[in-house]
Amino acid sequence: MKARLPTGGEIQRDQPLSFTFNGRALQGYAGDTLASALLANGIHRVNRSIKLHRPRGIIGRGPEEPNALLQIGMGAHSLADQRATQVPLQAGLTAQSVNGWPGLGFDVLAVFDRAAKLMPAGFYYKTFMGPTGWWERYERVIRPAAGMGKVPDGPDPDRYEKRYLHCSVLVVGGGVAGLTAALALGRSGVPVVLANEDTAFGGALRASRASLDGQPARSWVAGVVAELEAMAHVQLLAATSVFGHYDQHFLGAIQRFDGVDGESPIRERFWKIRCERLVLAGGAIERPIAFANNDRPGVMTASAVREYIERYAVLPGRSAVVFTNNDSAYATAYSLIDAGARVTLVDSRATPSPAAAQARAAGIHIHQGAQVDNTRGRLHIRSARIRRADGGHDTLDCDLLAVSGGWNPSVHLYSHARGELRWDDELASFVAGNDLAGVSAIGAMAGTFDTGDAMRDALAAADRIAQTLGHASAEITPPVVENAEPGPTRLEPLWLVAGTGPAFVDLQNDVKASDLKLALREGYRSIEHVKRYSVLGFGTDQGKLGNILGLGIVSELLASHPAEIGTTTYRPAWSPVTFGALVGGDTGALFDPVRVTPMHAWHVARGAVFEDVGQWKRARYYPRAGEDMDAAVARECLATRDGVGVLDYSTLGKIDIQGPDAVTLLERVYVNNWQKLAIGRCRYGLMLDENGMVLDDGVTARLGETHYLMTTSTGGAARVMAWLEQWLQTEWPDLDVSLTSVTDQWATVSLAGPHSRDLIRRLGTDIDLDADAFGFMSIRTGNVAGAPARVQRVSFTGELGFEISVPADYGAALLEAVFEAGEPFGVTPYGTEAMHVMRAEKGFIIVGQDTDGSISPLDLGMAAMVSARKDCIGRRSLARSELRRPDRPQWVGLLPDDPNQVIPEGAQIVGGDPVGHSGQTPMLGWVTSSYYAPRLGYAFALGFVNGGRDRQGDRLYAWDLETGPIPLTVTAPARYDLEGSRQNV
């Protein structure tokens, strides 16, 4: 490891780890990040840039990294676009560059760089605008060229979880400010959660040479962390990135275990955090300076260079140029020198600061008032050209260029919740304002870079919070801080150095200063528009390095103050969030509950094909060998007509209604009359919403004096229950009536066909089944096949029918008994498809298939059902002129000329010759249900036609894209056994 220093750093030299990068076997240590391990092996260059395919190296040290986005792991475990600066090194880790074909050193697509002048900002918009539909073609070429990472080749095998977390105070950021605040709150007895994005707490202190009360910074951090860990009311979340701050103290965070805790069964945990008070201590990120060819491998931020030396014992270069416009980079120069590197300082400020004078006294060569205006080196920086204060040029050979253009407070989380950002002229950047209730921003994020000041701010904030929550101050005396690295003091803004060559502002998106100039030339002024035009800050790094730099350049070009240009609002996520974490365990079988009836195993054993109805699995048809759906459905329908068919009807919604006012409730929610329904009788009811549109339908039976059983459609059960509850609670609290959902308590077997009565007799029952004793639309209670049962004599198929309901646990046994007893009658199971076909032959609606929330009973031809005697929900709306319009869509039957042609459902109905001279024809209606009807012996459909009831006999067409016009005749909806002679026997 040629760049590893012999001593120092936090790496565990007794734990070497092997890993590979682009197939090369390499070694690092526990405590390394992938980035520090690569640098230790002398590897800077890790990728090609996304648009111009320029060689790119590691530039940063954390979430700001725009270049080192690598493919980690293999196969289904593979993860795309992982920031090497945040990936903890693990034994056996495999990392791969995403861009660069056939290899990093020689990239065919680097021709884009030569052609850069031909691909300015807005290139994609302008070039790929049209013609319509062509984007899909361009995309096929652009995507692979643009290096978006590789999709894993299988479903994610890793586990994730979601958790809620409630706390009094959440502190985001475990640097000096966040640690101090958490310590003070903890000592005050306030329940605190401290989230830290890095695996190790301490923030900038981890790479600092400062001492606190005489202790090395890292020892001080270790002491504070140990104390916090010992507090029962404090929770530390390491390796946890708080990615979003939403309304009223709701925050989202991702805790990573991958590479952090080898024992963890989960890869990541998604925390949904609600806190009463929020302390934001997000720190700051050093920003670069735009100059020609500022993107070569070996150009890094000064603070990253220092962190690699101090924390990871990696020397990123032996011959360094440090280019700065403020004091903070001087600490980097000292770290480099102490690590054995040669250092030349280029300080753009005309007047030397005390830090410069000190460095000069220490023997460091400083070019005061000079600027780096270009670099050389094809695959790695070889030299930096500087323009001296006197205007002349020098060339400095180097293999590392450490740059500091100042620091940007990480105000993102403050901005997410619409907190105000304030421009700080000394920092030349935005700091968090002070306008969010219950939110305190402290430390560098609030513009306080001095370690001692940050601690004092943190203690003050913690005291205020403790007091408002009823706790005493922790009375902490801030430690004496010595030798702390300077912040960006005495900064003189420097955004763009004049020069020839591409000066990059946003490295991830290859946005150059010239692109911003172009945006302004094209007339864009708002920074929001400039950003969108140039795609500045639109990468996964969210412009952590480039946004403020771009703003500075634009303000300079427009000769106005940056605060007047305005910043964009930062939006979640602060750092990329994996879909796996957001989904958590809600995947596969756990994605949505699956409901099955007590007879489900029977259907499975009979080879049923299922369909989803809401959350229910319902048997759709039962194919025999060689049968397709049409054949199976036809057989099931005819077997029902000729013998007896059996349907599992358990999924139907069932609501038990009891109380003296039960009938009043029914009168108010159904369009028809219920006062005269006798005990033991049942009736079909139609329910509307207040706009007069059909909401649900079903049969309700009267079981006792004040006891009713309502059935609803399978899909509408929950909706109807909620609907009734809402009216009872909000509008009619005076009604003495109780509702209980009993859908799951009863299993229902529906028998249909001429032998259904005989079958129940063979099952054995104490209920008198004679037609005279048990008429159509009645309900009886008794025993069937030894089980307590309710038997309802109804018919949805048009055949003689009985629905036997038994307590759910008897369901499977009842179904078995039915098939045993039904043997002599050719008993046949039928599914929902045959049920749909048979009801259509009878002209019965299916709510949700034939209605869509815009259909009234008048449209359905069911006006006669609407009682004139009483009001009900939605009734007044039926009198509106719109609903009385004679040309409203009306429900009709549609008979195709070809008796075998099944019109596609959803087809539109048009009149006359649809291929007329204008090429247009008005739509007259649409098809809602369409089948081949086995009992009728021909195909027919149901649907809506404008004014359709008066158009019976009219010749129209159904229009389908694939089949073209289908000639048909408008008829009445009902076709089968219009006299009801088959069901009334």
Contacting residues toward other proteins, per CB under 8 A: 164, 166-168, 191, 193, 232-235, 246-250, 274, 276, 469, 690-691, 722, 725-726, 729-731, 733, 871, 875-877, 879-881
Minimum CB–partner distance for residue 470 and other proteins (Å): 9
For residues 142 and 122, give the distance between their C-alpha atoms in angstroms, rounded to a whole number.
15
Query: For the stretch 86-112, what's the b/e string if a residue is b when 16 or more beta carbons lie within 10 angstroms of its beta carbon?
Result: bbbbbeebbbbbbbbbeebeebebbeb
DSSP string, 512-554: EHHHHHHHHHTT--SHHHHHHHHTTT-STTTTTTTHHHHHHHH
Q: What end-to-end distance do the CA atoms of the chain give, in Å?
A: 93
Minimum CB–partner distance for residue 605 and other proteins (Å): 35
Q: For other proteins, give the closer residue by CB, 166 or 365.
A: 166
Q: For other proteins, give the closer residue by CB, 161 or 611.
A: 161
For residues 514 and 522, give the distance between their C-alpha atoms in angstroms, rounded to a whole number.
12
CB 195 within 8 A of CB 174: yes
Q: For other proteins, give the closer residue by CB, 590 or 722.
A: 722
Q: For other proteins, give the closer residue by CB, 482 or 690.
A: 690
Length of the chain: 985
Q: For other proteins, give the closer residue by CB, 725 or 950.
A: 725
For residues 459 and 454, give the distance between their C-alpha atoms in angstroms, rounded to a whole number.
9
Minimum CB–partner distance for residue 980 and other proteins (Å): 34
Minimum CB–partner distance for residue 731 and other proteins (Å): 5
For residues 122 and 174, give the distance between their C-alpha atoms in angstroms, rounded to a whole number.
40
Token pair 């760089």 in the structure block, residue: 113
Which 3-state string (H, E, C) describes 387-425?
ECCCCCEEEEECCEEEEECCEEECCHHHHHCCCCEEEEC
Minimum CB–partner distance for residue 228 and other proteins (Å): 11
Write the Ramachandran bin of 133: left for phi over 0, alpha for psi from -120 to 50, otherwise beta: left
Q: For other proteins, give the closer residue by CB, 142 or 865.
A: 865
Query: For the stretch 336-375, what's the b/e string if a residue is b when 16 or more beta carbons lie within 10 angstroms of its beta carbon?
Result: bbebebbbbbbbbbeebbebbeebeeeebebbbbbbbbbb
DSSP string, 193-248: EEE-SSSSTTGGGGG---EETTEEHHHHHHHHHHHHHT-TTEEEETTEEEEEEETT
Minimum CB–partner distance for residue 346 and other proteins (Å): 50
Q: For other proteins, give the closer residue by CB, 395 or 569.
A: 569
Rg (CA), the chain: 38
H helix or E strand, kind and range, residue 699: strand 694-704
DSSP string, 41-109: TT--EEEE-TTT--EEE---SSTT-SS-EEEESSGGG-EEEEEGGGSB--TTEEEE-SS-SB-SSSBGG
Tokens of 411: 């105000």
SS3 of 437, please? coil
DSSP string, 756-801: HHHHHHHH-BSS---TTTS-TTEEEEEEETTEEEEEEE--SSSS-E
785 CB burial (10 A radius; 0-12, 13-18, 19+): buried
Minimum CB–partner distance for residue 805 and other proteins (Å): 25
**Which residue stretches of 257-411 are H helix?**
302-312, 330-338, 354-361
Q: For other proteins, give the closer residue by CB, 425 or 871.
A: 871
Minimum CB–partner distance for residue 582 and other proteins (Å): 14
Neighbours of 912 (CB within 10 A): 12
Q: For other proteins, give the closer residue by CB, 464 or 884.
A: 884
Taking alpha carbons only, the member of 816, 842, 839, 841 closest to residue 829 is 816
Write the Ramachandran bin of 127: left for phi over 0, alpha for psi from -120 to 50, otherwise beta: alpha
CB 386 within 8 A of CB 401: no
Q: For other proteins, give the closer residue by CB, 595 or 702.
A: 595
Taking alpha carbons only, the member of 56, 25, 72 closest to residue 545 is 56
Q: For other proteins, give the closer residue by CB, 211 or 615.
A: 615
Q: For other proteins, give the closer residue by CB, 60 or 252.
A: 252
Minimum CB–partner distance for residue 871 and other proteins (Å): 6
Measured over all CA atoms, what is the biggest interatomic distance in the chain, rounded to whole angstroms? 116
318 phi, psi to nearest 5 deg: -100, -20
Helix/strand/coil percentages in the chain, nearest 5:
25, 30, 45
CB 867 within 8 A of CB 874: no
In eight-state DSSP terms, residue 461 is H
Minimum CB–partner distance for residue 165 and other proteins (Å): 9
CA 831 centroid distance within chain: 36
CB 917 within 8 A of CB 931: no
Minimum CB–partner distance for residue 274 and other proteins (Å): 6
Minimum CB–partner distance for residue 884 and other proteins (Å): 11
Q: For other proteins, give the closer residue by CB, 81 or 689.
A: 689
Write the Ramachandran bin of 919: left for phi over 0, alpha for psi from -120 to 50, otherwise beta: left
For residues 858 and 886, give the distance between their C-alpha atoms in angstroms, rounded to a whole number.
10
